[in-house]
Every structure is written in structure tokens, then in C-alpha cells.
Amino acid sequence: MQLSRHPPRNCSGALDNTGQNMTVDESEQKELLNLLLAVAQHDREAFRQLYQRVSARMFGLCYKLSAQQDLAEEALQDAFVQIWHNAGEYHGDRGAPLGWMLTIARYRTLDLIRARRSLRSAGDDMLKHLEDGRWGPLETRLQQAGATALTGCLEELSDTQRDTILLSYYRGMTHDELAQTLASPVGTVKSWIRRGLMALKRCLER
Amino acid sequence: MKKTPERFESLAAEYVLGSLTGRARQRFERWMMQSVQVRQEVWFWEERLGQLTRAVPSVSPAASVWANIERRLWPTAGETPHAHPRMRWLWPSWSLLASAAALVLAVIVAFPHQTGTGRDVQLTGAVVQADVSDPLWLVSEAGSNRLRLRPVAAVDAEQGRDYELWVVPGDGSPLSLGVMAVGGVYEVTLSEDARRLLASSRTLAISLEPRGGSPTGVPTGPVLHITRLYEM
């Protein structure tokens, strides 16, 4: 059960065309893994170092998702409290250590967003971009980088499939919010997402 | 909900994406608990979609964030003059726990061959909730076949409901370890089956059930917590 069905990230050049980054990334992940192991033994100094190493990455994500300083800060705090208590739960099947920590931060941010039902302002921003028929500069950059990260598979999706997936992922939008933002029936939005994700999976597995 | 591979493939993706919400999300979490394949599917998406986060720019958080984390984890570590009384009470127990952990470690190191015929590791862990700074329960093994949950920040289940503890196996249905009262330490003797499952999966879950526990033998209410134990 502990044998991963999936190759570890960056074990093949196809997943990351910046060859130089591969070793940097691998040694970084190894250091993060060592810090996590020490944190699982309740080593506070390791925890402090871990925070220094990854908090800006995690906070960037919390902030990107919520577009709210205080919510992002609360999510980051919660995520680190969780990492302190749950470091022992990390294992290789859950991806690289940084990815695991970013996942914790992301879920927590989404929880808080939903709990506060505060998505409306972020949704309105997005609506403006979409009404213009274009993404904001940051979104374009993210979209391109996202496509590279997923080995070009996002480019194989239809525009609506890709947009709904990225809006869910980066903005934490629910089906209802997407339907409202994209002025489309919920059923249609659901089917874009579902078909998009399955097409993405088929592509990633090739 | 039909449990076909296509179904869990699609639900796992939506769970990670975040578009699966409300009751559907809770139902899926229960399903995750029952099957390692479903969990692996979730991990697949967490890792693959996680690559999207690489493109998000880093932003340094304010210094107060770290201070708050420290204050939440180690309430007496700061120099807050008006520490909460409950927090002050907690601190000795935490340090006791730390020395207990150190003691057990020392015993294992000193007598590596005297571990007997049973399992030679002790499992420990904590049931935590993201918005509560203290663990809800601390979990430890008492001897080779007893499991102990000590409530710290856990609160009573709502009126007419009970918490039920489960061992979550790598595959198949969870096995009940009984209904827990929150008032005191909950200790349960593990059956041979429960010991075997726990030794391999090291995963416990707590669900909210009707008073007296699940009427069906599998979790029927929301799964509140899933926790993985680690070797002490």
C-alpha cells in the first residue's frame, strides 16, 4: 500500500524542462523532509526553520485564494498548527513535502472562505475580467505556468473546461458561484468541470 | 451513491479541486475512510493539481503570524502577563508528555532486544482540529493491546449524539472501537483483529453517531476526524 502508483515528481525530465531546477528542487525537498521528521518528534527549532523556509510560499497561496490579508493570515496560522500536530502523518504517497504543506494551507483557506461566505468580492473582480473576455495579467501568467506544470495537459482542454477548473482551484469557487460568474446553468458548469478533469487525467496518464 | 471506479475518480478530483461541497463532500470523506484506493486517488490529484500552486507568487507573511502560531502552540512560552488559566493548567501536562515521550524513547534505545513477542513499537498521536489550538484528544497505546484517548480540548457531542471511535483499515470497512464519553480518559482493549488492522494502517477515525453508537456497525454520521498515529 505504501508503494506509490505514481512516479515521484521530477524523476523524469518530461515533468520539468528546467533541468537545473531538478536537483535544486530535490535537495530542497529532502531538507524539508528532514525538517518535517524532526517536527514529528516535536523539535521546535526545526519547526521554526520549516516556517522560515515555506511560509512565504504558503502565504502567497492563501492570499491568492482568498484575496484577503486577515483570512490568509488566519489560514496560515491554522495550517502551521496542523503541521505541528500532524507532521507524523506525512508519507511519500502524499507527494513531495512542500506539496503536502501547500495542500494543507489550501484546504484550510477554502474552509475559511466558505465559513465566512466572503467570496463575493473576489468573485466580482473575476467577473470583470471575464466580462472583458480576458484574464487579468496575473491570471494569464498563472494559466501559462499551470499548463507547463501539468505537462501541457491543460492546453488540451476546451476553454470553458480549463477556465472552470482554474477558477475553482485558484479562486476556490463552488459550482453555484461559477454558474453565477459565468452566467451558465449549474448543470453545465458541473459537466465542464467533470469532463475537464477526466480529460486531464487521461492526458496525465499518457 | 454507486461506488464505481469512474465515480470515485471523478469525485476525488472534485474533492481536491474544492468544487465538491456540503453533504457530498462529507459523504466522500466517509468513503475515503473506507478505501485506500479512494485515498490514493485523492493523493494523486493533490499532487498533480498541487503543481498549479508552483506558479503562485510567494508573499512574506507579517511577523505577527509566527508570534501567533507560537502563542497558540506554547501558550506560556511568550511573556503574556494574562495567560488564560486553562492554558496555564495545560502547560505542565504538555511538558510531562514530552518527558514521557523522552523516557519511552530512552527505554527503546537502551533495550533494543527486549521488545518481547508482541509489536515492538508504541503508537501515539493527537486528534486535532484546525481551528482549535489544543489537540482534542491525545492518543497513546497502554501496553500491547490497549488504546487510550485522553481528552484535552474535546467537547461533548451534541444532544442525543455520541462520538464513536474506529480503526480505519487499509482497505474495507472500519472497525468500531466503541462509543467514547468525553468526560474522562477513554480506554479500550483491542481485539486481535483491531490490533492487526491498527498495526498496519495506523489510522483512527471519530464519527458522530446516534446515542449509543452506530446502529449498522459502520459509520452513519459525519466523520469528524481522521488521524494517523506514529511511532513513539
Segment A163-191, tens digit of pLDDT: 888 888 877 778 888 888 888 899 999 99
Return the CA Rg of chain A: 18
Segment B83-121, tens digit of pLDDT: 333 333 333 333 333 333 333 333 333 333 333 334 456
The answer to whether residues A140 and A76 belong to one domain is no
Confidence of residue B77 (pLDDT cuts 50, 70, 90): very low
Cα–Cα dist B211/B179, whole Å: 9
- Taking an 8 Å cut-off on Cβ atoms, the answer to whether B46 and A59 are in contact is no
- Taking an 8 Å cut-off on Cβ atoms, the answer to whether B55 and A145 are in contact is yes
> What's the pLDDT at A129?
46
- List of residues 6+ apart from A124 with CB closer than 8 A: none
Q: Which of A189-193, A198-202, B169-173 has the lowest mean pLDDT?
A: B169-173
The answer to whether residues B210 and B126 belong to one domain is yes
Quote the domain boundaries for residue B36.
5-54
Which residues of chain A does B55 touch, with a Cβ-Cβ cutoff of 8 Å? 141-142, 144-146, 149
Among B14, B59, B101, whose Cβ lies nearest the Cβ of A63?
B59
Q: Write down the mean pLDDT value for chain B.
A: 74
> What's the pLDDT at A45?
94
Q: Are B122 and B104 in contact, with CB atoms under 8 Å apart?
A: yes
The answer to whether residues A17 and A91 belong to one domain is yes
Higher pLDDT, A175 or B5: A175
- Taking an 8 Å cut-off on Cβ atoms, the answer to whether A73 and B62 are in contact is yes
The answer to whether residues B39 and B134 belong to one domain is no
- Taking an 8 Å cut-off on Cβ atoms, the answer to whether B61 and A59 are in contact is yes
Domain closes at, from A72, A88, A116: A116
> What's the pLDDT at B99?
35
* CATH number of residue B152's parent domain: 2.60.40
Q: What is the mean pLDDT of residues A151-160?
A: 83
Cα–Cα dist A145/B51, whole Å: 9
Higher pLDDT, B205 or B134: B205
Q: Is the pLDDT of residue B160 over 50?
A: yes
Quote the domain boundaries for residue A185.
120-205
Closest residue on chain B to A6 (Cα): B44
* CATH number of residue A107's parent domain: 1.10.1740.10
> What's the pLDDT at A175?
86
Does the predicted interface ipTM exceed a cut of 0.85? no
> What's the pLDDT at A123?
47
The answer to whether residues A136 and A191 belong to one domain is yes
The answer to whether residues A77 and A45 belong to one domain is yes
Cα–Cα dist A124/B6, whole Å: 35
Domain closes at, from A70, A88, A116: A116
Segment A61-111, tens digit of pLDDT: 999 888 889 999 999 999 999 999 889 888 877 788 998 999 999 988 988
Number of Cβ within 10 Å of residue A6's Cβ equals 15
| Domain total in chain A | 2
Q: What is the mean pLDDT of residues A129-147?
A: 52
Segment A33-65, tens digit of pLDDT: 999 999 999 899 999 999 999 999 999 999 988
Q: What count of Cα atoms within 13 Å lies in the side-chain half-sphere of residue B203?
A: 21
Among A78, A141, A149, whose Cβ lies nearest the Cβ of B52?
A149
Cα–Cα dist A4/B47, whole Å: 12
| Domain total in chain B | 2
Q: How far is A188 from chain B (nearest CA, A)?
A: 14
The answer to whether residues A142 and A89 belong to one domain is no
What is the length of chain A? Answer: 206
Which residues of chain B does A85 touch, with a Cβ-Cβ cutoff of 8 Å? 126, 128, 135
Q: pTM for the full model? A: 0.57
